Structure formats: C-alpha cells, structure tokens
Amino acid sequence: MIVVMEMRATSEQIEAVKSYLTEKGFGIHLSQGEERTIMGIIGNDAQKANLNLENFEGVDKVVPILTPYKLAGRQMHERNTIVKIGDVSFGGDELQVMAGPCAVESREQILEVAEMVKAGGAKIMRGGAFKPRTSPYSFQGLEEQGLKYLAEAREKTGLLIISEVVDPRSVAMMAEYVDILQIGARNMQNFALLREISHYKKPVLLKRGLSATIEEWIMAAEYLLAGGNEDVILCERGIRTFETYTRNTLDISAVPIMKTLTHLPVVVDPSHGTGKWRLVNPMAKASLAAGADGLIIEVHPNPKEALSDGPQSLTPENFTLLMQELNVLAGAMNKRLF
C-alpha cells in the first residue's frame, strides 16, 4: 500500500500519518520527492485493509499494491486446477459442453432434451429447477420436482447434472441431486450463499456478476476456497454495458485474464452472454479460440414454447451443428471435445 501526500502537505500532516502508522505497528518506507512525499507501508496485508488513510488531512490518495486474494491466485498455486467429476474433467485438454433448457418444465421435456444433448456429444446437462426471475409474476421453476426429473434423466442417459442454487436453505437438498452446483450472476456476491456452499465437497460453477470486476469475481471464488470447497469452475456470462442490442456484453477477454490470474477452469455462457440464439454459434467458437475450458449453452426441443429464455435457446438441429463445428475448432486448438 502506497500513500501519496498532496503537493502542499505540511510536515505536520506528514508526521500525523507516520505516527498513526507507527502506532498501528506498520513499517514505513519514506520517499521524499521534489514535489511530493510518498510512503510505502510495510506489514500485515489484512490489517492494511482497515487503515483509513484517506481521512487524514494532506493525503491525496492511497494506492493498494497487493492482490487481495491468496487461494484463488496463481501466485501461490502455479499449476492449473483440474476439476474432476467421474470421468469428466474441467481445466485440462478436454473441453466440456453443458447443454440443456433454461428451466426444467416437465418430465417429458427434460427426458427429450437429455437424449438430444447426449446425441449432440455433450456429457453434462443443465436445467433450472429454481429460477431467479426479474418479475414475481414469471414462472419460478418446478423446484424439487424439477430436480427429480433431472436425476431421472441422468439415470437414463449417464449425463451429469448441473443446476442453480439460489437459497442457502436449499443447498443440502440440492447437493443430493446434482453433480455441479451453479451460482448465478445475481448471487455472485450473495455471501451467505457462498459461505454455505463452501462447506460442501461438491463442484461449483460460479458465474460472474452482471457488473462484477475481475477482482470481485476472484474474491467470490476466494469465499468458496477459503471455506474449503476447492472445485470451483468460473463462468463468464456477459456483463452489463451501455449496449442494448444484446442482453449483455460477453467479455471474452475474461477467459485469458482469469486463466492468467487464477488456476481455476474457466467456461463461457454465450446464451446469456448475448441473449440471441443467432449469436450463440459464433460466440461459442470465439470462447474456445480464446482458451475457454468449456461452454454452457441453452438448448430446447422447441424454443418457441420455452417457459423462459426461448430467444436465446438453440434448437436440437442448431446444437448438433454447433457441436460439429466446435469439434473442428477444438482440433485446431489442440484440445478434445468428443
């Protein structure tokens, strides 16, 4: 942490800052320039976060130097984390596609989708049983019944299951049914939920919040890791910008950034990231080309009848076509899809 004093800071003001830091037990590295005094603060990082140097007269600004995350960062953990679930793995040479409808709508729908997802070549099925909806009047999901249908589909097809958890009170129940717990964008900083999930030995897919910075996203992962859950998969799903043509702006640069700063696998959701099914194909390809470890994609047997997110869902035909094109691309990237 660096304290930059104002140009006209008096020696009394500089002394006041020094005394405060010394009292708190910090060392000071003083740099008296021609125009300004700058102080480097030496000592315990966590305690530095509680210093309120901006409140001192004569202080111009305080510049943090160290990254606030430890467990999620690559600095202490150089090798890639490989998240393994049975014979499926995230973070290595194999690419994973998670596909399925936004919401579990009925037993028939979900069994039909499962066959379709499997036929397309994917190994994991997505489907929401608890839906966080902007409007209280929208379809809110089939809840536990939906999870039962997902479990049945898994039994029939061998596909793994991922589904979103939205309430700390239902984590235990959800963990019984699913293979990967999904934390949605709106809950990325729902710390009560993060803490609850951190106590389970169950892989988690952590979506980036709508307006979460790279650092906030890593800190949310840090909550999970600090609580003991090490199987964290990051998911870029678009951020909120001024552009309204798309539902969100898919920030594909987050893929190489997160692969550099953390050791965790990174996947992309081009369905929510764009909100338009026509853009899912090119953005899925772009994600893999940028180095993503996988994708999560909305597919529906009949998007026109979907109870939510129809406009961004692929038909079975378009999904199969996409998988074939991704397979060619994977080869060019020295990765494996099928």
Touching a second copy, residues 139-168 (CB under 8 A):
139, 166-168
Return the number of other C-beta atoms located less than 10 Å from residue 83's C-beta.
Answer: 22
Give the x/- contact pattern for a second copy in 200-239, rule: CB under 8 A: ----------xx-xxxx--x--xx--xx-----------x
User: What's the rounded Cα separation, in Å, for the pair 273 and 269?
Assistant: 6
Q: Which is nearer to a second copy, 19 or 145 (CB)?
A: 19
Residues 51 to 90: which contact a second copy by CB under 8 A?
52, 54-56, 63, 65-66, 68-69, 75
Among 79, 86, 201, 242, binds a second copy (CB under 8 A): 242
Site pattern 293..332 for a second copy (x: CB under 8 A) = ----------xxxxxx-xx-x--------------xx-xx
Give least dist CB 243 to a second copy, A: 6
Q: Give which of 204, 202, 194, 200 is closest to 167, Cα–Cα.
A: 194
Which of 42, 173 has the CB closer to a second copy? 42
Q: Which of 133, 156, 199, 336 binds a second copy (CB under 8 A)?
A: 133
State the Cα–Cα distance between residues 156 and 24, nearest whole angstrom. 62
Give the DSSP per-residue string, 59-115: EEEEE--S-S-SSSBSSS--SPP-EEETTEEESSSB-EEEEE-SB---HHHHHHHHH
Question: Which residues neighbour 335 within 8 Å (Cβ) at sequence distance 6 or greater?
Answer: 93, 94, 95, 288
Ramachandran region, residue 326 (left: φ > 0; alpha: ψ -120 to 50; beta: rest): alpha
Q: How far is the CB of 338 from a second copy (least distance, A)?
A: 15
The footprint of a second copy on residues 83-122 (CB under 8 A) is none
Q: Find the part of the chain contacting a second copy (CB under 8 A) among 85-93, 113-121, 172-180, 243-251.
A: 243-251
Is there binding between residue 25 and a second copy (CB under 8 A)? no
Cα dist from 102 to 42, 278, 313, 329, whole Å:
50, 17, 8, 26
Q: CA-to-CA distance for 277 and 239, rounded, in angstroms? A: 17
- Quick check: 336 binds a second copy (CB under 8 A)? no
- Interface with a second copy includes 338 (CB under 8 A)? no
Q: Which lies closer to a second copy via its Cβ, residue 85 or residue 129? A: 129
- Report the DSSP pairing between strands 266-268 and 294-298: parallel
Tell me the window of 79-87, 117-125, 173-181, 251-259 that interacts with a second copy (CB under 8 A): 251-259
Contact 337, 95 (CB under 8 A): yes
Q: Of 17 and 124, which has the nearer Cβ to a second copy?
A: 17
Choice from 129, 255, 266, 296 touching a second copy (CB under 8 A):
255
- Residues numbered 258 to 277 that lie near a second copy (CB under 8 A) are 260, 273-274, 276-277
Reduced to 3 states (helix: H, G, I; strand: E, B; else coil), residue 31 is strand
Please check whether residue 41 is in contact with residue 1, taking contact to mean a CB–CB distance below 8 angstroms: yes
Q: Which is nearer to a second copy, 160 or 290 (CB)?
A: 290
Nearer to a second copy, 63 or 158 (CB): 63
Q: What is the rounded distance in angstroms from the CA atom of residue 202 to the CA atom of residue 232?
A: 9
Residue range at the interface with a second copy (CB under 8 A); choices 4-12, 84-92, 154-162, 228-236:
4-12
